[in-house]
Each structure stands twice: as C-alpha cells, then as structure tokens.
Amino acid sequence: MTAKKALGRGLDAIFGEHTREEKSASRTEQIGNIPVAGAISDILLSQINTNPDQPRKEFDEDKLIELSDSIKNHGIIQPVTVRKTAKNKFELITGERRYRASKMAGLKSIPAFIREADDVQVMEMALVENIQRQDLNAIEIAFSYQKLVDECNLSYEELSKRVGKKRATVNNYLRLLKLPIEIQLALKEELVSMGHARALISMEDITDQLFVLKETIEKELSVRQVEAIVRKIQNKELKLQKKPLSLPYKYQQLNSKVKKKLNVAVEIKRNNKGKGKISIEFDSDKKLDQILNEILNS
C-alpha cells in the first residue's frame, strides 16, 4: 500500500463522498437565499471567519498576489469549504489561501461548499488538506499532529491511519517537538532540513546539538556530513572544542534584523541568566536622531 493511496482513503474517510463533488461542482444550490449544508453557494466574504486551528500560520505574500491575479482573470476554480456557525455566519475549514487571495482581488463573495462538521472534524479536515498540499513546514506538521493526539484522544496508530501516513513517519514528526527551540526555529525557517534535525535528535547533550546546528548552518553541511559528525561525537571519536553559545539562536536572528533595520552595528550581550545589554553604534547626532526615531516609531 503506497502512502499516496493511504492518504486518499484518509481523505475519503474525513471528507466523505463530497470530496470529488466539491472539486467538480460548478453550480449554486440553496433554498431561497439561504445556503444549505451539502450544497455549494456563493457566500459573502464578510460572513466567513477563518479557522483559529488552521495548521498553517504563515502565508507567502508573493504567492498570494499571484493567486489573487489569477482569481481576477479566471475566478475561483475550486470552492472553499466552510461550516455554518450561526445565522449568516460561517467558519472556513479549507481554502484559506483562496479566501485571502479573493479578498485581495476585491471579491465580495466566494463559492463555498457547506459541510456539517464538529470541532474535531474541522481540525482533521484542515490538517489533512494542508498536508496533502505540502504547504506546511515540518514543525507546523508536528504541532498539528500533536494537537490531534491531545484534543482528539488519538493513539499514534490511530493518528497514522487518519492522516494516511506510516506510523514511523508520524513518530519522526512528533519527535521534532523534543528538540531545543533553536533547532525548531531553524527547521521552521528552512535553514536546516528534517534530515538534519533527525540526526541531531539522537544526541543527548543540548549544548552538542546547538553547536552542531551552528556548524551546519554556517558551513552548509549536508545531512550525511551531520550524521557523520554525530556518530563521531557519540563514539567519542570527536571531542568538540565548543565555544559557549552566548546568544541563543532566536536572539541571533533578532540581532540581524535590528542591524538591517537601523543600518548600524548592533551587539547583543547576554549571560546564561538572561541578563545583558544592547549596544548600538552611531557616528553623528544625525544618525542618533535617526536611530531614536526609528525605535520610537516602530
């Protein structure tokens, strides 16, 4: 059984027989002016709220603009999926990119397939739809899996069947949540791959993990190179000459962003207890005024 086939059956189990109908439907069905469940209707965008449990948290602005331009020229090809929450109020289940791009395109309404679904079903549908489209990064998938486990009381075996993935694959994603936040952030921003992260998981010492992470990013090491380093460390064939990581990864990022924003040299110093200082260089009163205005107006 291939993963692709298993995923298809997982979608059928969640979406039911309406999955194919939703993709091919081109008509509006409603009673009078009232949209009904199981039908496709044009619904005002102002009546639709986004799903707070949407697995994907970030959307590429350039791709949204491209989709918006396409919608202006060709309209909505595939309806979004919603559920009714109150009179003339709906919650988005799948299709948030289409929803956002339609608003950018200036549309007032959007074709929507209306489903009857409870909170658990909504969460499952949003997760599986996003995974199928491969739009989530590894950490977002891991958090979504964990959310399903916690809130739906699923075992890992049940979870693997719901999302159409092998048990080992699901376990590998969930293990990512045990990594230090610095590695999770690097994964989220695609500075390292899931292969790199899996190699780092096998290391017990967090300081070793973070040191190898830093080396991986700076030297652009391949997964095989990282695996080889990890094996040598574990076999005590390699003793790391580690310099203390004085600044956690997230603050290194912020430091770079501040430098770029202010266009001056910036240094953040921090000890292990979280105390420290920020130094900002300037070469004239004019530059100082510029920096202060930038900070105060941020």
What residues are annotated to the active site?
Answer: 96
Contacts of 106 (CB under 8 A, 6+ apart): 72
Contacts of 125 (CB under 8 A, 6+ apart): 14, 15, 81, 93, 94, 115, 117
Rounded to an integer, what distance in angstroms lies between the CA atom of residue 229 and that of residue 234? 9
Calculate the alpha carbon distances from 120 to 15, 57, 62, 210, 245 in Å: 13, 19, 32, 37, 42
Beta bridge partners of 48: 90
**10 Å Cβ neighbour count for 13?**
13
Give alpha helix (H) positions in the chain: 3-15, 18-24, 61-74, 96-104, 119-133, 138-152, 156-163, 167-175, 181-188, 194-201, 206-219, 223-234, 249-262, 285-296
Residue 243 DSSP code = P
**Is residue 192 within 8 Å of residue 186, measured between CB atoms?**
yes
Contacts of 228 (CB under 8 A, 6+ apart): none
Residue labelled with tokens 């009232």: 34
Rounded to an integer, what distance in angstroms lies between the CA atom of residue 298 and that of residue 292? 10
What is the SS3 assignment for 280?
Answer: strand
Rounded to an integer, what distance in angstroms lies between the CA atom of residue 214 and that of residue 217? 5
- Helices 119-133 and 138-152 pack at an angle, to 10 degrees, of 160
